[in-house]
Structure 1
Amino acid sequence: MSDTRNSGQVVVVTGASGGIGRAVAQAFGARKAHVALLARGEKGLAAAAGDIRRAGGTALELPTDVADFDQVEAAAERVEQELGPIDIWVNVAFTSVFARFSDIRPEEFRRVTEVSYLGFVYGTMAALKRMKPRDEGTIVQVGSALAYRGIPLQSAYCGAKHAIQGFHESLRCELLAEHSNVHVTMVQMPGVNTPQFSWVLSRLPHHAQPVPPIYQPEVAARAVLYAADHPRRREYWVGGSTVGTLIANAVAPGLLDRYLAKTGLKSQQTAQPTPPDQPANLWEPADGATGHDYGAHGEFDSKSLSHSFQLWTSRHRSLLTACGGALAAATLTLWRRVRS
């Protein structure tokens, strides 16, 4: 399989107009890749394409609602016609509703599920249709700690991420059984400083925020690119908070339920009231023809971390394991010498 660090790779990124998707597209552009940008927002798509071209890459803007399979399939066909065979497909696009479950309308819950879960399924279908006959390619699913651990105020989003996790595991087993050289991997993210907290439909009294600690989208992008370069691992965890959450959920999920019941509502809101004119991108893009480009970053730059030590350790786990083994062997040798 070809290495995504080489220039000329054909990469598809859904949700590329803002947030993690925008940062991922920019990072691939810096590698001089040919990047197809799928999203609904015209302003965000145009700006993302400009970012990639300035970095030396090639950009193809494809206005697409990933909840519509026909649109996704048509976009994939255009990518292969205009850029060439797809090497990497990164599923990022999502939407959500910040509200208690009882305050979410049925059509809103359905829309979140169609975009945030079925959008990943449709993107994967379109990618596999083209990758499997060639027996090469990589699909990266951008997940979340919330794929394992549900939290209050995000029932629709958590449900979608849990569904993606189950879908990912099932598909991975099938590809392994087929001895396929097409690989699928998943990257579980922590709270990230993206524009979603300024454009997701919210019924909260105060402005929504990521659960701290908050990481910059470039941290997430570096993880996605590393996963694309090393897709044989089933998943990657980004951020110490992700690791802590998943371990706590595995060991004491009931205790974590009670902890989140006490802290989860407040930790997802700032002290500022929700702006009465805040846009909602559930049905229409906030960065559409009448909107503006939101970029990769949200409103929390001053609170966000630009590096993740946990991500570094995940990328270098073989080295750390070897060092740990050498240290243990040296300690054992010293202990034997002292005893003798």
Structure 2
Amino acid sequence: MRRIKEVLRLKHVQGLPERAIARTLGISNGAAHSYLRRAGAAGLNWPLPAGMTDEDLELLLFPAPRPASQSPQRPVPDWGYVDKELRRRNVTRRLLWDEYRATHPDGFGYTWFCTTYEAWKGRARPSMRQTHLGGEKVFVDFAGDTIDVIDPSNGEVQSMKLFVAAMGASNYTYAEACPSEGLADWIRVHINLFAFLGGAPTFVVCDNLKAAVTNPDRHDPGLNRTYAEMASHYGTAILAARPRRPKDKAKVEVAVQVAQRWILARLRNQRFFSLAELNAAIRILAVELNARQMRDFGASRTELFAELDQPKLTKLPDQAYAFARWKRCRVGPDYHIEIDGH
């Protein structure tokens, strides 16, 4: 609740200037000025009329705007439908507005259409302002939290990393536990990801971890050769997120947070004695997560994936990628080179 009454009291009773009122109440100078200007325009003075409550004062000076949807002559578009259609290739706002006006000739103009859609998008999904085309991108990263696996032979505990991937258009999510963030595990979870999706997207957007990027340059990042070869094998391309540009990978950061809450939190009291057992439990929860209806979209991740992403994926090659590590070595005096101590 705005502190309008206190602003008026300090002005008319204490005689304080606007800046002093703002400092006293801990509000901005602009807010104090706005309250006094609106009160003057409404003809209010001090003391206020008897019985006027803070709620009455708020409603008088800041009346609620009439929603556009209440106008019987101007039907409002279904913004959820507009948002979903914009993730289809070659669908533009202009096309959707033309279709809207064809159905409602007396509808709103194109500028209002675009401005109001942006406002709706900001309310519906404030951390997902980019529009992703179907089948275009999958975002990948590791979660910060880990989950333990116990070796039944000696009781030794190993913390497993959680790999998370999310499709750009549908938010369809894949999760898998692996022992490390090393290159071999990094490649293996990607191979499993593409098998899970049943195809490969146009781009894979990754963070600047060592297994993916050898030179995290903002303009020209150097990719690990094995990672680049794997991408070529599946007909996709790697896009490394720019350093210190969190919006480049905001999609997967949200997916990681969801996975940690939906998967790791639910498994926190369970004990696992093999990586296979752990991943079997993760797969069950991932299926449940993808089947849940998303409130802002009116559909589940699985439904949106089947409609938007899956038809646009590149067909998988006949054979999965065979892992190979490239290493620059110095030839010894005996014409031999050393690889991993051998």
- TM-score in terms of structure 1 length: 0.23
Pick the structure with more helix per residue. 1
Which structure has more relative contact order (CA 8 Å, sep 6+)? It is 1
- TM-score in terms of structure 2 length: 0.23
Structure with the greater alpha carbon radius of gyration: 2
